[in-house]
Amino acid sequence: MTVNFSSLTAKQKKVYSAIETYIKLKGIPPTVREIGEMVGEKTPGAVQGILNRLEQKGVIKRQLGAARSIQLVSEDNQMYATAVYIPEIKKISKRNVDDLLNIYNIEKYHPVSPYAVSENGNYLMIDCPDDCLSDKGFQPGDTLLVNISAELKAGDIALVFNETRSILRFYHPEDNGTITLKADTNTREKENFNNDEVKIIGRVDGRYTKF
């Protein structure tokens, strides 16, 4: 069967891509709720409506009454790149700093081009916490793409949690085992830290700015 993807609307393509990505990552089809989380649609009925139309157009199959029964009719993905869905988290606090990706801290999932992320990376998105790297263009209101599994090197931009707040700084490990976290703006804040004074959240690999 030849599937006509050109007949899909932008929203239908987004849902199809989300299903395809989930199956490739998890090995099982997503639920309606999970699809809604990935595409930012909070109403299960709206997701069901899109799935009904995808089924009518012949690009998915479902088994009535069965959970996780979505099957893709075609694996053809030549018309668009398969998005990677990155969780945007609400906040970083002492309570959740070691479990940032718990379901209660995830605001929504954002589709990101696979070319914007590393194949072996583990990512989250969060609002920029301060303007201490404003010379590099980082401003509050920007959304950061943070690789939480990256091995940091000197000069990388790191998202760091210190005491009760997140900060954005240039990362520089010192020979004595301490860490220097430098801003590019004038600040009298402490710059050199022992390892147990800070929690490195990850390396900033991208930034999204609204104009």
CB atoms within 10 A of CB 125: 20
Same domain, 127 and 34: no
Here the CATH number for the domain that contains residue 126 is 2.10.109.10
Identify whether residues 112 and 189 lie together within a single domain.
yes
Tell me, what DSSP letter sits at residue 83?
P
Q: Choose one of 18, 44, 72: the last residue of a domain.
A: 72
Q: Does 85 map to a domain?
A: no
Do 139 and 198 have their domain in common? Answer: yes
CATH of the domain at 57: 1.10.10.10
- Report the C-alpha gap between 112 and 86 in whole angstroms: 7
Q: Are residues 99 and 194 in the same domain?
A: yes
pLDDT confidence tier of residue 66, bands split at 50, 70 and 90: confident
Quick: pLDDT tens for 167-188.
Answer: 999 999 999 999 999 998 777 7
Residue 19: helix, strand or coil by DSSP? helix
CA dist 144 → 44, 103, 110 (Å): 29, 19, 12
Q: Which domain holds residue 27?
A: 5-72
Report the C-alpha gap between 76 and 80 in whole angstroms. 9
Same domain? For 10 and 97 the reply is no
More confident residue, 159 or 42: 159
Number of domains present in the structure of the chain: 2
The pLDDT of residue 2 is 52
Q: In this model, does residue 3 exceed pLDDT 70?
A: no
Give a yes or no: residue 116 inside a domain: yes
Please state the rounded mean pLDDT for residues 109-122.
85
Asked whether residue 50 is assigned to any structural domain, the reply reads yes
Q: Residue 181: inside a domain, yes or no?
A: yes
Q: CA 144, CA 142: separation in Å to the nearest integer? A: 6
3-state secondary structure 94-126: CCCCCCCCCHHHEEEEEEECHHHCCCCCCEEEE
CA 56 – CA 50 distance, rounded (Å): 10
Q: Assess whether 52 and 124 both reside in one domain.
A: no
39-53, 81-95, 191-205: the lowest-pLDDT one? 81-95
In terms of pTM, does the model score above 0.75? no
Give 8's DSSP letter: S
Residue 79 lies in a domain: no
